[in-house]
A = this chain, B = another copy of it.
Amino acid sequence: MGRHKEFDKEAVLHKAMLVFWKKGYEAASIPDLLEAMDLSRSSLYETFGDKQSLYIEAINWYKKWKQAKRDILVNATSAKSGIRQYFEIHIDSALDGESPKGCLITNAAVGMDSPDEPLNALIRERFDELEQSFYELLRKGQETGEIMPEKDINTLSYLLSNLNHSINIVAKVQGDRSKMQQMVDMVMEML
């Protein structure tokens, strides 16, 4: 057996993800990535294949990384408070100076040229998952009587996932917390 890798694959993948997140796919050059990942070219290409593969892996890593946020919805006992908490965290992370603004997957969706790319499946999947989580939680809320049964939760879940998208966009250009907060309040009143 030969020697081991000198780097932690997940750690450098995380670094790469941050670069893609901040700059977008096209604008993130290999030298950019190498510097952030602190890797040599050959290591990158041997470990990840090529740039596009790395991008896909980065997005999947992002998904896993953000899973915790979605778990809030799955594990919430109360529908309304679960949703409320989800958006609190969503707004927080959309505005904090540490991580890049917006959402990597939303960026990828908007930056996508043709909808036939393999990326598209990944993105739709993610969008659907989120909407599904909202749906499940709303349905539970209906069962417990927290949400009136006659409400069309199909549409409600769509409304919520659109609120999510909007926050991603608005975070990139304005980053006005109070207005986002207002938006969430307004939608919450509909539940």
Please report A residues at the B interface, Cβ cutoff 8 Å.
22-24, 26-27, 101-102, 106-107, 109-113, 115, 120, 123-124, 127, 155, 158-159, 162-163, 165-166, 168-170, 172-175, 179, 182-183, 186-187, 190
Contact = CB atoms under 8 A, between A and B. Distances in A.
Contacts of A169: 106, 109-110, 165, 168-169
Contacts of A170: 162, 165
Nearest to A124: B173
A172 B23 contact: no
A130 B14 CA distance: 37
Given A102-B110, A115-B172, A162-B166, 6 more contacts: A23-B113, A24-B111, A24-B113, A107-B111, A111-B111, A123-B173
